[in-house]
Amino acid sequence: MKQTAKKWLKLGGALGLTAVLAVPMAACGPMAPDDNAPYEPPAEWHEDVVDNITMFCNDWEQFNNGAAVRSPVYKELVKAAGTELKARSTGLETYYTQLDLMRVNQQLPEMFIIDGPTNPEMYRGLVRDGEIIPISYYVNEETKDQYPYLYEYLQQFEYMKTNLSYAKGELWFIPVKWTNDKSLYVRRDWIRNLNNKIDEILVADGVVSDVSQVTDELRTEYRFSEEGPKDLGEFYRLARAFTLYDPDGNGQNDTYGYVTEENRDMDSWLHVAYDSPWKMWVAGEDGVYHNTATSDGSMLATSLLNKMISEGYVSQEVGIKTVGNKQDDFATGKAGMMYAHNWYNVISANMMSAVSGLSIEGARDRILICDPPAGMNGNFGGQGDVYYYRGWCIREGMSVERLKACLNLMEYLHSPAGIELVTYGVYGEHWEWVNDEVGGERVTLCEADGQGFVQELRWTDYAAFASYLTYTPPEAKALLTNGDILVGRDSASAATMIVSDYPDLYTDSMIRYQSGAYDFFDETVIRMMTNTSLTANWEFDAKTWKTDWKQKMYSVSDAMRSAWDSFVSEYNGAYNGSVMEQEYNAAVQSGNMVKVGKLPD
């Protein structure tokens, strides 16, 4: 290894990095442990050969299987980086523990994934202690000819340079763009079964006293839409019917309307429907921002779930079920609706495993996936808050050559050629043009799995797990089984994603208190949801439901109102909600923050 020391100059095409080899970055990194200290580029050094670079992420050890056989995708990635690539992996539940140990032992890999600004303590620490490079110092206006695609991609995240008080005017990681890939799943076959006995349901619901009184007009008026519930009123009515009227036709009282899970943001759509996005800062009519954790909309969402749990229309195991438990309840015929990721083929495969002889086409016929219902003001959609799901850091302290390898890899993976590679694979190996018409329609050459599903490329060529390093657009799923549904739902989910006006704006008090306050919110909401003493006392009336749901579902019991007021008082006091609100509004009013809102597709 050959080393050369000289000071970096910020010139077009230049590449700088730290001169530290094996010393603790926190102790003597290139900058002081001070949020306000400007970034000082380190001294440059070189090495003759870069044998490989290691990338640390959870649940992607299969990448190394592609490397071991030098798969077609892997070969292209090596060409782009100019060196061999290795994946280091662990489970998500231990990922950040392992990353902390690497930091303590000064053994960070060249590249690693983190939550970014949404975990301000870690991100701030990595920046402050000089453990990661400022990406924008090396990928910027002066170097955009060298990194054109990465530069263009990062422009949408420029706000991070300003909205983060500790960012020193730089962008310190490469976000993986994300657009809330979640939808409402509904058992369409159950809806048909209900409609086939709508006469009996109308009698049971008191619309008529005898089936002889049912007319075609009444059947049309009260039938359940096979397109799924469009509003909260339809959602409640359908969940109720899925619970009471034996939708699977087995003669047993063993179904319920909606299943939720321990991850509370999986009910964020309900908060959005009540005009109160999930855990987000939203401006009132006076322009003052308030956190929706304490809003009346959050109270109404909590009250509705409480009501439906008490009536048996929602799983009693709220706060306990894992995502797997939830999906199993839907696939095995226990629950009629769930809100989940757009993993349509996974859910279909689970149902096929549970139902003997069920085909892909049969599962597609049974499973509807659609937008979540709207509230009475027409608001609907999924919670996003920010336009990324984690992102990649590059370690400070590497040679010029090693850092170039990392940046070259990320540049390639954000180029059309790189995205095509990890999406479709290598032409002639994984896909081809229909009728050899270049630029026309693609067709996959990948084999289906045992159940008949053509899955993501990474399950054919394991090196395509490199897709974890970049953003792939909705249309990337077009060649998969049920590709039309997958592309359509990802596009629709992105279009209705709810985002913050000022993403990643964390004041000092928010960094200290927000996480604890949100934990208090989650714990309180779960307790309230299962507390029958708080249940609203309104009753369902099928004859008037189409209009009076807007009044009933927007009212709460006196006990719920009192309990919520007590929660808000404690949140704002003991959990410093008022302090955070004052600081947040002061930051917004300073005029120094960048208002982002909806980003272009």
What pLDDT, on the 0 to 100 scale, is given for residue 350?
Answer: 97
CB 535 within 8 A of CB 557: yes
pLDDT tens per residue, range 515-546:
999 999 999 999 999 999 999 999 999 999 99
Residue 141, classified by CB atoms within 10 Å of its CB into exposed (0-12), middle (13-18) or buried (19+), is: exposed
Who contacts 457 (Cβ-Cβ below 8 Å, separation ≥6)? Answer: 73, 422, 423, 424, 425, 430, 446, 464, 467
What pLDDT, on the 0 to 100 scale, is given for residue 5?
Answer: 36
Bridge pairing between strands 281-283 and 289-291:
antiparallel
What is the DSSP code (8-state) at residue 395? B
Q: How many residues does the chain have?
A: 601
What pLDDT, on the 0 to 100 scale, is given for residue 600?
Answer: 52
Question: Which stretches within 296-415 are classed as H helix?
Answer: 296-310, 323-331, 344-354, 360-366, 400-413
Spatial separation of the C-alpha atoms in residues 326 and 566, rounded to whole Å: 32
CATH classification code of 181-387+497-601: 3.40.190.10
Helix and strand numbers (H, E) in the chain are 24, 17
Which superfamily does 6-177+389-481 belong to? Periplasmic binding protein-like II (3.40.190.10)
Q: Across the chain, what does the average pLDDT equal? A: 92
**Segment holding 86, helix H or strand E:** strand 84-90
Residue numbers in the chain where pLDDT is lower than 70? 1-34, 598-601
What pLDDT, on the 0 to 100 scale, is given for residue 18?
Answer: 35
One fold for both 6-177+389-481 and 181-387+497-601? yes
Domain ranges of the chain: 6-177+389-481, 181-387+497-601
Closest CA to 546 of 189, 230, 186, 302: 230
What pLDDT, on the 0 to 100 scale, is given for residue 502?
Answer: 94
Spatial separation of the C-alpha atoms in residues 364 and 342, rounded to whole Å: 14
Model pTM score? 0.91
Spatial separation of the C-alpha atoms in residues 528 and 513, rounded to whole Å: 23
What pLDDT, on the 0 to 100 scale, is given for residue 275?
Answer: 96
**R_g of the chain, CA atoms, integer Å:** 27
pLDDT tens per residue, range 261-301:
998 889 999 999 999 999 999 999 999 999 999 999 999 99
